[in-house]
């Protein structure tokens, strides 16, 4: 048995998988400020039309351009690994596989869509991209993609991460990008927040507002905005993860996974691995699919489904999703990439349909699992990824207790090498856990009453 299951480049998937084609019920459309569905034209100042077409597509398979593959070959196909050392440590009969997305130069799965988005923007004649970043994984990924494709890149980085993770901005600078702390004084959205809360840790919602504002106010028309998660086309680009993993599981002699796990902030790494298996589940396969989120930002596990803005300044179209309210600023947990008030609408719809079983963990539980991982498998995972590791360990222990040789597959979404302060805090006993108090949840979701409700589709929360 090999520890790594490696695909040849000639076996890389040549099409992305679009889950929208197979959903039991169609998606609720994004709405404009007037409550009416937005049209592609309305999104044109923000995104290039070729990506807007992907955003609204219901084609099941979408070809990956050869030039994009030629960039992805720098690190793809990514290895599927079997966590034999962890299995042995846990004395579990389960077979634990993980898709190693930490091997990209920026260290996470994010370049899968960053490269695609930069390429489509360049094809459309765009010269400059703006974006936001939480922990810095996405900002680094877009900087990397822009460097390879010759685009300018501007990154608004959530203040708390900007301060906690200084190496990330150096990394973006190596790839030629310009990164500033958000809220910044460069935009109206940023200045407004700074005026109200000068010492704010910032949030992804605020940073998104800033990046969109700077894109749409560029009078040259050559700037667009790029989002690292949440949207349909972003999740689409990530499905290469799950499509590779399916081939690799087959090479390893596994018919299908019993359990598929990914951490979920905006949802892109989770969806990237899970959606190809979700298709199998829709077609009757018995697969448990688990998005894992922080207890401090419990979007799927505790928030209602409602139409809400994707950003704090209410700039984006309204999307039907689980949301803690666009004004919610998550506590400064180390898993910066999971600090988002909403969640990808495609994922929310699957939760409503009963296809996924979301769960949440405290950060100390996650760091504890990450240490077990480091001392068995050897590598040190990102704090976001540690949420998936924690769930995989729990499932492997359950399999042992039940005497069940389940196949567990999870997404190892990134390493942590630019972000080791969280481990230091944990080892020094400085980390605390946080459960969102019910009254806080009520407070932030109360604003949703003024927005259109998401239509009742099922007996669930929808």
Dihedral pair phi/psi, residue 272, rounded to 5°: -55, -45
Of 45, 65, 176, 452, the one binding a copy of itself by CB under 8 A: 176
Assess 197 for contact with a copy of itself (CB under 8 A). Answer: no
Place of tokens 């905005």: 225
Of 216, 251, 327, 374, the one binding a copy of itself by CB under 8 A: 374
Distance of alpha carbon 33 from alpha carbon 63, whole angstroms: 33
Q: Which lies closer to a copy of itself via its Cβ, residue 64 or residue 189?
A: 64
Q: Provide the minimum distance between the beta carbon of 374 and a copy of itself in the complex, in angstroms, as a whole number.
A: 5
Q: Provide the minimum distance between the beta carbon of 160 and a copy of itself in the complex, in angstroms, as a whole number.
A: 18
Q: Name residues contacting a copy of itself, limited to 98-127 (CB under 8 A).
A: 103, 105, 107
CA–CA distances in Å: residue 452 to residues 5, 222, 311, 348, 459: 47, 33, 16, 17, 19
Q: Provide the minimum distance between the beta carbon of 140 and a copy of itself in the complex, in angstroms, as a whole number.
A: 10
Assess 285 for contact with a copy of itself (CB under 8 A). Answer: no
Q: Provide the minimum distance between the beta carbon of 171 and a copy of itself in the complex, in angstroms, as a whole number.
A: 6
Of 36, 163, 167, 443, the one binding a copy of itself by CB under 8 A: 167
Of 29, 42, 44, 75, the one binding a copy of itself by CB under 8 A: 75
- The 331-370 site mask, x for binding a copy of itself (CB under 8 A), equals ----------------------------------------
Of 14, 36, 170, 458, the one binding a copy of itself by CB under 8 A: 170
Assess 148 for contact with a copy of itself (CB under 8 A). Answer: yes
Assess 2 for contact with a copy of itself (CB under 8 A). Answer: yes
Q: Which lies closer to a copy of itself via its Cβ, residue 253 or residue 378?
A: 378
Assess 173 for contact with a copy of itself (CB under 8 A). Answer: yes
Stretch that binds a copy of itself, among 91-99, 173-181, 207-215, 401-409 (CB under 8 A): 173-181
Stretch that binds a copy of itself, among 72-80, 194-202, 357-365, 399-407 (CB under 8 A): 72-80
Query: What is the CB neighbour count within 10 angstroms for residue 199?
Result: 6
Q: Provide the minimum distance between the beta carbon of 361 and a copy of itself in the complex, in angstroms, as a whole number.
A: 19
Q: Which residues bind a copy of itself (CB under 8 A)?
A: 2-4, 6, 8-10, 73-75, 85, 103, 105, 107, 144, 147-148, 167, 170-171, 173-176, 371, 374-380, 415, 417-418, 420-421, 423-424, 427
């Amino acid at each position: 048995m090999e520890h790594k299951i490696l695909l040849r480049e000639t076996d890389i998937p040549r099409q992305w998988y679009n889950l929208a084609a197979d959903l039991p019920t169609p998606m609720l459309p994004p709405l404009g400020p007037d409550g009416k569905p937005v049209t592609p034209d309305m999104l044109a100042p923000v995104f290039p039309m070729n990506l807007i077409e992907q955003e609204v597509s219901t084609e099941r398979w979408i070809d990956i351009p050869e030039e994009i593959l030629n960039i992805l070959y720098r690190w793809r196909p990514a290895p599927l690994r079997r966590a034999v050392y962890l299995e042995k440590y846990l004395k579990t009969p389960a077979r634990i596989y993980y898709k190693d997305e930490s091997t990209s130069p920026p260290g996470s799965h994010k370049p899968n869509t960053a490269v695609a988005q930069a390429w489509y923007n360049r094809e459309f004649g765009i010269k400059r991209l703006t974006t936001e970043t939480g922990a810095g994984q996405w900002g680094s990924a877009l900087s990397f993609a822009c460097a390879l494709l010759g685009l300018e890149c501007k990154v608004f980085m959530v203040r708390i991460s900007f301060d906690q993770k200084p190496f990330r901005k150096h990394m973006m600078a190596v790839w030629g990008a310009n990164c500033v702390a958000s809220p910044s004084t460069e935009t109206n959205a940023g200045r407004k927040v700074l005026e109200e809360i000068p010492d704010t840790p910032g949030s992804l919602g605020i940073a998104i507002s800033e990046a969109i504002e700077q894109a749409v106010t560029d009078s040259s028309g050559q700037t667009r905005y790029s989002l690292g998660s949440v949207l349909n086309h972003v999740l689409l680009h990530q499905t290469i993860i799950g499509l590779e993993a399916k081939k690799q599981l087959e090479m390893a002699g596994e018919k299908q996974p019993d359990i598929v796990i990914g951490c979920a902030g905006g949802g892109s790494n989770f969806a990237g691995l899970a959606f190809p298996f979700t298709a199998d589940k829709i077609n009757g396969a018995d697969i448990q699919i688990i998005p894992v989120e922080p207890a401090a930002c419990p979007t799927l596990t505790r928030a209602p489904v409602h139409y809400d803005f994707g950003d704090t300044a209410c700039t984006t179209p309204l999307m039907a999703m689980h949301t803690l309210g666009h004004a919610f600023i998550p506590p400064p947990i180390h898993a910066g990439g999971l600090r988002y008030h909403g969640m990808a609408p495609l994922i929310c719809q699957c939760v409503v349909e009963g296809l996924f079983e979301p769960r949440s963990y405290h950060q100390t539980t996650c760091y504890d699992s990450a240490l077990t991982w480091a001392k068995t498998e050897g590598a040190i995972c990102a704090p976001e990824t540690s949420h998936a590791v924690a769930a995989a360990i729990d499932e492997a222990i359950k399999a042992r207790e039940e005497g069940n040789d389940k196949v567990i597959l999870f997404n190892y979404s990134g390493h942590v090498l630019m972000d080791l302060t969280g481990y230091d805090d944990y080892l020094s006993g400085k980390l605390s856990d946080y459960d969102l108090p019910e009254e806080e949840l009520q407070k932030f979701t109360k604003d949703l009453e003024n927005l259109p409700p998401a239509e009742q589709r099922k007996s669930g929360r929808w």
